[in-house]
Structure 1
Amino acid sequence: MSALEVENLGFAYGAREALQGVGFRTAPGRFTALLGPNGAGKSTLIAQLTRLYELQRGDIRVAGFSLRERPREALRRLGVVFQQSTLDLDLTVEQNLRYHAALHGMPRVVANERIAQELQRQHLAERGRSKVRELNGGHRRRVEIARALLHKPSLLLLDEASAGLDPASRRALNEHVRALCRTEGMSVLWTTHLLDEVQADDDLLILDRGRLVAQGRAGELSAPDGDLERTFTRLTDNPVAA
Structure 2
Amino acid sequence: MAAFAVVFAAVSANASTLTLTNVAGNWSSWTGGVSVTPSTRDEVSELRWGTPRFVGKQSGYDFKPAEASSTHQEDETFALGLFTHHNFPIDVGITSATLDVTFSFYLGEDTDNIYTRTSQFVFSHIETPNMVRVCSNGKRSRVNGVQVGCEDRVTPVTNPSKSEVFTVVEGNKTHKYMFDVTGFDIGDGFWTVENQKNTATLQGRFTYEENVAPIPLPAAGWMLLAGLGGIGAVARRRRNS
| TM-score calculated relative to the size of structure 2 | 0.24
Say which structure is richer in strand: 2
Larger Rg: 2
Ranked by relative contact order (alpha carbons within 8 Å, sequence separation 6 or more), the top structure is 1
Say which structure is richer in helix: 1
